[in-house]
Amino acid sequence: MSLHATLRGNAQTLFERIENFIDAFFGGSDNPLRHLGALGLYFLWILVATGLYLYTVLDTSIQGVYTSIGHLSQQQWYLGGILRSLHRYASDGFVLVMMLHLVREWACGRYYGFRLYSWVTGVPLIWLAYISGIGGYWIVWDRLAQYSAIAATELLDWLPFFNEPTARNFLAPDSINDRFFTMLIFIHIGVPLMLILGLWAHVNRISRVDYLPSRRLMLGTLASFLVLSVAKPALSELPADLALVPANVPLDWFILFIHPLTDITSPAAVWTLVFGATILLFALPFLPHPKTQPIAVVDAANCNGCSRCHADCPYEAVTMAVHPHKPGHKIAIVDPDLCASCGICAGSCPSSTPFRSQKELVTGIDMPQQPVDVMRQQLEARLAQLDGTTKMLVFGCDKGADVSGLANTDTATISLICTGMLPPSFIEYALRSGVDGIVVTGCREGGCDFRLGMQWTQERLAHQREPYLRSLVPQDRLRLVYASSTESRQLAAAVKEFRIQLETQTVASNKPPAYSRRKTHHG
């Protein structure tokens, strides 16, 4: 295993353990680490809303800009001051979740194959975020803004694109005029608009985008920002004085860290680091990575055009077109550049049922690496080997907790590409074949590697999404367990607990469950 793969694997394990720990207090829906992208967008809307108000009261003249901003923090602290502080802390929050989102996606290996587009379109957003953030500090035009302007322009002067040094514009008292601040305002509004456009492109190929986090997470983070705004409001330093060299100014390390980095190294070292990191991020998807899996395959003869696979695909890889052999009908078409090879579409197909009386089960849409027919064969072979008073079956996920260690004489296991590719009819089929209890397990809430696999599974089993698990299937014979790849022991404990519950029910009723003893054969 390469060093890169080892580092990535260790980082992924670390993220999973931290996320599982936070889940214990907030649950998956309110876990901030599981909704970093949605949090970033939410913080951006806070920035837009507070920024619009700040813009309406800002005097863009060289004499009035510092005074008007100071008025907000001092005389109008109850509204303008709090909104200014919200603007500041939301910008720090945006940068923080953006970088965490980047590292987490890398750690989970979500940067190549069908995710290439989202990764590549996300890299420029980092530049736009920092350009907007640094420019925002200049608008205040205090000592910190002066220090940032001088440091940034000295850094820019190192580049060969500039014929004349720009830093000297901030070294003479009469070198700055009103037009400078008008330009800053234009940049500080224009760059975020480009950022919003870039975010739209970033999620353009993803269906059912998590645009906003849960209400409790939004209210919790907003309350945190408000507490910070009151306890430590954002205040201006002394006004900028180009006749003096600013020193000992407090920094916002989330956004302005590049300035002290330049001070302790050199512009050449900083640009080498910045451009090198950017090139590496763009090149990362093209470096050696795990082999891409085969995409979903549509069988025209068995596709009835129901559009369920189109509705369930997490990445809009499935579209509907005119059926070539059935006039007036539609057929699913799979885009190879967008297909995640997750199998969720196979789980949604109504023809993916083991009850069909065919020797070879051919479905409307299927995965070549794990066809539904092979799943049926595996199920029948493993159920035939079961022995014991309480027979159990565990459907697992390749991305979640490993289920292979649970296999025993009285427990059969089948691991799927994603739990979302499990047709609910397989559960009924297994129960009718003699199984006493079934455990379906997959990634934790908000942690599905293919985004929607466990969500669709939960909704199908709860009769909320087609294809439904039929209502006649006894729910007390079924258990849904969320377990990440680091929680194999927790899964084993849940299966053991479920077994004890089934045995207790059997003893209490003094007879075996009638439903599970009715076996159905197929031709």
Is 39 within 8 Å of 93 (Cβ atoms)?
yes
Is 18 within a domain?
Answer: no
For residue 14, being part of any structural domain is answered with: no
Residues 275 and 308 in one domain: no
Contact assessment for residue 233 and residue 77, using Cβ atoms and an 8 Å cutoff: yes
More confident residue, 432 or 168: 432
User: What pLDDT score was predicted for residue 191?
Assistant: 92
The number of domains in the chain is 2
Instruction: Place 510 in a pLDDT band, splitting at 50, 70 and 90.
Output: low
The answer to whether residues 379 and 481 belong to one domain is yes
Provide CB contacts within 8 A for 94, sequence distance 6+. 40, 43, 44, 47, 129
Question: What DSSP string runs through 185-199?
Answer: HHHHHHHHHHHHHHH
**Contacts (Cβ under 8 Å, ≥6 apart) of 232:** 85
> Dihedrals φ, ψ of 165, to 5°?
-60, 125
**Of the residues 265, 286, 307, which one is the last residue of a structural domain?**
286
pLDDT digits (tens, 9 = 90+) for 435-474: 999 999 999 988 899 999 999 999 999 999 999 999 889 9
Give the residues across from 332 on adjacent strands. Answer: 320
User: What is the pLDDT confidence band of residue 519, given thresholds at 50, 70 and 90?
Assistant: very low
Q: Could you count the other beta carbons within 10 Å of the beta carbon of residue 411? A: 21
- Judged against a pLDDT cut of 80, whether residue 152 lies above it is answered with yes
Q: Which of 235, 266, 286 is the last residue of a domain?
A: 286
Q: Which domain holds residue 452?
A: 297-517
Please check whether residues 436 and 507 belong to one and the same domain.
yes
On the question of pLDDT at 522 being above 60, the answer is: no
- Assess whether 306 and 399 both reside in one domain: yes
β-partners of residue 297 are 366
pLDDT at 178 over 90: no
Long-range contact set of residues 514-520: C-beta below 8 Å, sequence gap at least 24 = 515/431, 515/432, 515/473, 515/474, 515/477, 516/431, 516/432, 516/434, 516/435, 516/436, 516/477, 517/434, 518/432, 519/432, 519/433, 519/434, 520/355, 520/429, 520/432, 520/433
Sign of CA dihedral 66, 67, 71, 72: negative
- Is 139 within 8 Å of 68 (Cβ atoms)? no
Q: Is the pLDDT of residue 488 over 90?
A: yes
Does 6 reside within a domain? no
Residue 166: its pLDDT value, please?
A: 61
pLDDT at 7 over 50: yes
Same domain, 350 and 254: no
Burial (0-12, 13-18, 19+ Cβ within 10 Å), 315:
buried
For 471, the token pair is: 């209502």
Residues 62 and 150 in one domain: yes
pLDDT for res 10 = 92
Among residues 141, 170, 155, 162, the alpha carbon closest in space to that of 260 is found at 155
Judged against a pLDDT cut of 90, whether residue 232 lies above it is answered with yes
Question: Is the confidence at residue 116, as pLDDT, over 60?
Answer: yes
Give just the sign of the alpha carbon dihedral 296, 302, 303, 308. Answer: negative
Confirm whether 13 is domain-assigned.
no
Crossing angle between the packed helical segments 143-157 and 267-283, to the nearest 10 degrees: 80
Mean pLDDT of 188-192: 90
Token output for 260:
């002290």
**How much is the average pLDDT of 72-90?**
89
Helices and strands of the chain, counted as H and E runs: 16, 8
Whole-number pLDDT of residue 170? 58
- Res. 1: pLDDT tops 70: no
Give pLDDT tens digits for 349-372: 999 999 988 788 999 999 999 999
Is 343's pLDDT higher than 60?
yes
pLDDT reported for residue 291: 87
As a residue count, the chain comes to 523
Per-residue confidence at 169, pLDDT binned at 50, 70, 90? low
Q: Which residue has the higher pLDDT, 497 or 186?
A: 497
> Per-residue pLDDT averaged across 237-251, rounded?
85
Asked whether residue 523 is domain-assigned, the answer is no
Encoding tokens for residue 346? 């196979």
96 in a structural domain: yes
Which pLDDT does position 198 carry in this prediction?
A: 94
Same domain, 174 and 248: yes
Say if residue 94 is in the same domain as residue 183.
yes
Please compute the mean of the pLDDT values over residues 11-30 and round it to a whole number.
93
Higher pLDDT: 463 or 167? It is 463
- Local confidence band at 171 (pLDDT 50, 70, 90 cut-offs): low
Share of the chain above pLDDT 90, in %: 70
User: Is 4 a member of any domain?
Assistant: no
Checking phi first, is residue 328 left (phi over 0); if not, alpha (psi -120 to 50) or beta?
Answer: left
Q: Are residues 317 and 238 in the same domain?
A: no
What CATH number does residue 266 fall under? 1.20.810.10
The pLDDT, as a whole number, for residue 15 is 94
Q: When comparing pLDDT for 307 and 166, which is higher?
A: 307
In the DSSP assignment, the letter for residue 240 is P
327-338 residue pLDDT tens? 888 999 999 999
Token code pair at residue 206: 């993803």
Residue 502: which residues within 8 A CB-CB, separation 6 or more?
390, 392, 436, 437, 477
> Do both 124 and 74 map to the same domain?
yes
Classify residue 332: in a domain, yes or no: yes
How far apart CA 354 and CA 475 sit, in angstroms, is: 20
Give 80's pLDDT tier (boundaries 50, 70, 90): confident
Cβ(47)–Cβ(91) below 8 Å:
yes
Q: How many C-beta neighbours within 10 Å does residue 20 have?
A: 20
Residue 296 makes CB contacts below 8 A (sequence gap 6+) with 309, 317, 318, 334, 339, 341, 343, 345, 346, 365, 366, 367
Indicate the residue among 264, 286, 308 that finishes a domain.
Answer: 286
Q: Indicate if 242 and 117 belong to the same structural domain.
A: yes
80 lies in the same domain as 228: yes
**Which pLDDT score is estimated for 158?**
87
Give how far the C-alpha of residue 430 lies from the chain's centroid of Cα atoms, to the nearest Å: 34
Cα–Cα distance, 455 to 461 (Å, whole number): 10
Average pLDDT over residues 224-253: 90
What pLDDT is attached to residue 520?
45
User: Which amino acid is it at 263?
Assistant: D
